Amino acid sequence: MATTAKADHQTGLNDEASKLPSAQLTKGDYEELLRQLYLARYFDVRLIKEKKRGRLRGTLYSSHNQEAILVGSLFGLQSEDWISPIHRDMPAFFLKDIRKDWNNDDRMGMTIQEVCAQVWGKATSPGRARDNWSHIGCQSKHIIHSTSMLAGTIPAAAGVVLADRLNGKNTIAMTFNGEGSTAQGVFHEAVNFAAVHKLPVVTIIENNQWAYGTPTNLEYPLEDFARRADGYGILGLIADGQDVVDVYDKVMQAVNHARSGKGPSIVECKTFRAYGHGDHDDDRAARYRPADEVEKGRERDPIAVMKKRMVEMGYMTADDAKNYAAEGKGASEVTDIDFPQQVVDYLSKGVEFAIKSPLPEAEEAAQWVFKEVE
Ligand SMILES: Cc1ncc(C[n+]2csc(CCOP(=O)(O)OP(=O)(O)O)c2C)c(N)n1
Ligand SMILES: [Mg+2]
């Protein structure tokens, strides 16, 4: 299975736009990108550990090995831009706008307390325990509510930015979708609508090679899902989903394209799903996926790829790169010393809040289900 990016499919880019946006990133930006990769990874492994300790119920949908897609695509957004994450993107809810200030709970992203309370299904969560995973959103923070219907957020995102345009605002919307969701009818209807109206919708496709138990060759007859863009005459780009800087470069080209009125785009990020579809599927997935394919797919850990880049750029010494060795390790192999203290502290604040929070009262169960009668 291919996880390396091809740079040859960049229809619609002019010379100006093809100058790499990452050329503007500072050493501090690189350090922040790496810190955010650790944070997304720590969220994943910490939740798995919490569940194994019996402190957490519900299914976990791991973004392990796919963190560079979330971190790299969110990094260049403006606070007012819209995002619509789906099941595999749980860290996106708190990574939005985090570079502004990790400790500012009023920034345009969800707080880690809200996200953890949602995962724990507590009364303090946005969903008030009606669901425990990504079925949340926040209008004031410009996070479009995630839906269970794959690709269902793309028409919503198109509508949101159309409304903003009519109100004179120059926001963009970034939707996250697995490659499997591109076979949905609504995917095509929404991308077509966005193309016709030149709406600023950036559709990220996380091509992790599997849709539940279905491999990509049974989902789509071509190799590159970015070619879906050709049918709509829109920009289609391919990023190396293991390399946060390449994701940033490709997504920022799509963002700049959208912001300058040139319309929607598809950015395919090639990656590999490290575990089962959800943690309920881990044992089964170990049987339906060839072991050598899984081993190869996990070879290029995004944390290791970024460290290598930083050493090459002189932003980190080879010795420093040995610190915080979370890369290449599963949840049962890492401990807190494999992560920067800031990352551990940040997430612990959310986990402790969630554990201490109460469950909702039973009487609440029917609230918001039927229209209240006076
Ligand atoms: C319309 C629809 N059909 C089926 C499902 C059940 N389902 C949830 S996730 C999933 C697989 C999605 O695969 P992909 O889009 O590649 O995302 P990934 O899980 O690999 O990140 C399926 C079939 C659903 N949620 N919505
Ligand atoms: Mg997939």
Mutate to test the pocket of ligand 1, among 1, 65, 69, 181 (most ligand atoms within 8 A of CB): 181
Q: Output phi, psi for 5, to 5 deg.
A: -85, 150
Q: CB–CB of 212/180 below 8 Å?
A: yes
Q: Model confidence over 324-351: pLDDT tens digits?
A: 999 999 999 999 999 999 999 999 999 9
Query: What pTM value is reported for the model?
Result: 0.94
Q: pLDDT at residue 258 above 90? A: yes
- Please tell me the least confidently modeled range out of 202-206, 272-276, 365-369: 365-369
Q: pLDDT at residue 3 above 80? A: no
Centroid of ligand 2 to alpha carbon of 25 (angstroms): 30
- Higher pLDDT pick, 42 / 364: 42
* CA atoms of 200 and 18, how far apart (whole Å): 18
Domain 21-359 class in CATH: alpha beta
Centroid of ligand 2 to alpha carbon of 215 (angstroms): 8
Q: pLDDT at residue 18 above 80? A: no
Mean pLDDT across the chain: 94
Cα angle 326, 29, 89; round to 5: 55
Mutate to test the pocket of ligand 1, among 59, 134, 204, 212 (most ligand atoms within 8 A of CB): 212
Q: What is the reported pLDDT for 15?
A: 58
- Please tell me the least confidently modeled range out of 12-26, 164-178, 239-253, 265-279: 12-26
Q: Which of 108, 63, 122 is nearest to 90 (CA)?
A: 63
Domain ranges of the chain: 21-359
Centroid of ligand 2 to alpha carbon of 169 (angstroms): 33
Residue 161's CB is within 10 A of a number of other CB atoms, namely 23
- Spatial CB neighbours of 147, under 8 Å, sequence gap ≥ 6: 86, 135, 153, 156
Average pLDDT over residues 196-217: 98
Grade residue 217 by pLDDT with cuts at 50, 70 and 90.
Answer: very high
